[in-house]
Amino acid sequence: MLSLSAYFGSVGKKSIFTPEPTISETNPDAAPTPTEPAANEYVQVVVPPEYKKPQTKPETPTEKLATRAGAQGEVLVTRVVDGDTVELASGEKVRLIGVDTPETVDPRKPVQCFGQEAKEFTKSLLENQWVRLEQDVEPKDRYGRTLSYVWRDEVFVNDLLVREGFAHIMTIPPNVRYVDRFKESEQVARVEKKGLWSSCP
């Protein structure tokens, strides 16, 4: 039996083994009329080549964000300074309320245990992402950073850092709205020995 052809538009055309002029060959202006092959004739079955979409470079998060504006109330995180501090497209620095990740950028201290892991985790969640900021009673810290609870879609980032063992809780009144939730999350991380609770003495 003949193998399938890769040429397009010849379904029903007789095989080269039984050459016979077609209508289009005798009269180029005439439209071709399909004919039924005889039972003992070989027929060349033609399958159009499969269309393959050209490969393109996948979009990075930055490229995706550059093509749209944030939803109402969202701000764009462009850089992660530390596990608990980020910088917005406006240049404003935001310190996450109620949590404290091990230090990585304080020039007075060495990089602390699990600090780099915490920073990378926050980076994977927030860098080049649109987020919502929720403030508490005190809007700024003594360094001028905005104090906020950070939400990426429905993910409460402050709480997730504690629950996954990337941060301790750090309660500084009057910003105590979620303190009970953070305490519960820290207990879960301790019991399950997550993150710094298993890696750091």
- Residue 103 is among the residues annotated as catalytic for this protein: yes
CA nearest neighbour of 175 among 119, 143, 131, 134: 134
Find out whether 32 and 9 touch, Cβ atoms under 8 Å: no
Selecting among 117, 145, 163, 186, the annotated active-site residue is: 145
Bridge partners, residue 169, by sequence: 99
Find out whether 96 and 107 touch, Cβ atoms under 8 Å: no
CA distance 67 to 89: 15
Selecting among 25, 59, 74, 103, the annotated active-site residue is: 103
- Residue 132 is among the residues annotated as catalytic for this protein: no
Rg (alpha carbons) of the chain, rounded to whole number: 32
Selecting among 36, 74, 79, 95, the annotated active-site residue is: 95
Q: How many CB atoms lie within 10 A of CB 103?
A: 18
136-171: b or e for each residue (b if 16 or more CB lie within 10 Å)?
beeeeeeeebbbbbbbbeeebbbbbbbbbbbbbbee
Active site residues: 95, 103, 145
